[in-house]
Structure 1
Amino acid sequence: MFKKLFGPSEPKEEKILPWIALNSIKQLSAVEERSKTKTQLIFKHSTRCGISRMVMNQFVAAYDLDLNADLYYLDLLSYRDVSNEVGYKFQVMHESPQLLVIKNGVVVAHASHGAINAMDLVKYI
């Protein structure tokens, strides 16, 4: 009985997303330009926040690898200046965690916390 409950389990294969590190303000112009031909997603994550980690894990587990979008990861604690510029450039108030969907140079949708995983990203592609 205890082996069934606590015994070794099959190791889960870790899902790796096609993250693009967002660590420079200069990259934001490229994100804006690319959004004219392909949806751009920016996931802002606080590496010290348990809620942010939980939301990110859920996002990773649910993310459709066939989604035709570029997916950026922003460690907002390490790159606070980039995080601030994202807010200014795309006119979205900072929250963490936060997901921005960018098309044609503007944010067409954004969500924070648990609402991130409720977003139907397919409708923005």
Structure 2
Amino acid sequence: MSIKQLHTIEDLHQFVQQSGQQPLFKHSTSCPISAKAYEEFQAFVKETDTPAAVFLVIEDRLVSNKIAEEFGIKHESPQIFLLEDGKVRWNASHWKITRESIKEALTQ
């Protein structure tokens, strides 16, 4: 399964409105911690058949700000959200983003 890149608030809303579980990754292209977390996220997506999306914090700032506002979760980068039927069920940031932590969140 591929990772959809979100560029607009409309892209975000379309992704959030999907049913089921889907991870959403917040990536900073200027941060080495984010690069490592993104590798873990990509490995997870490659191993599973889970719809997933990413947005770039610097390049898509409006999406980043909207997520913090709509989900009521403090901005961190990198950060991952597990969405289920339009709501955030789990989130993690920095070194806590691993292939295994995402798998575990999906099975809880």
Stretches (4+) displaced over 6 A: none
Q: 1:66 to 1:38 in 2, by over 3 A?
A: farther
1:80 aligns with 2:61: yes
Deviation of the 1:65 alpha carbon = 3.2
Q: Is the 8 A contact 1:38 1:69 kept in 2?
A: no
**Selected match of 2:2 from 8, 18, 28:** 18
User: Greater Rg, structure 1 or structure 2?
Assistant: 1
Aligned mate of 1:92, from 54, 73, 83 = 73
Counterpart residue number, 2:93: 112
Which gives a bigger RCO, structure 1 or 2 (Cα 8 Å, sep 6+)? Answer: 2
Preserved contact between residue 38 and residue 68 of structure 1 (Cα < 8 Å)? no
| Aligned counterparts of 1:105 and 1:58: Cα–Cα separation in 2 | 23
Q: TM-score, normalised by structure 1?
A: 0.74
| Structure 1: gaps spanning 5 or more residues | 1-16
How many angstroms does 1:41 deviate by? 1.3
Distance verdict in 2 for CA 1:23–1:40, change over 3 Å? same
* Alignment-derived partner of residue 31 in structure 1: 15
Where does 1:31-50 land on structure 2 (aligned, <5 Å)?
A: 31-34=15-18, 37-50=19-32
Higher helix share: 2
* 51-60 vs 95-104, which moves further: 51-60
In structure 2, do the counterparts of structure 1 residues 91 and 66 end up closer, same or farther at CA, with 3 Å as the change threshold? same
How many residues get paired? 105
Secondary structure of the residue aligned to 2:17 is helix
SS in structure 1 opposite 2:80? strand
Counterpart Cα distance in 1 of 2:45 and 2:53:
15
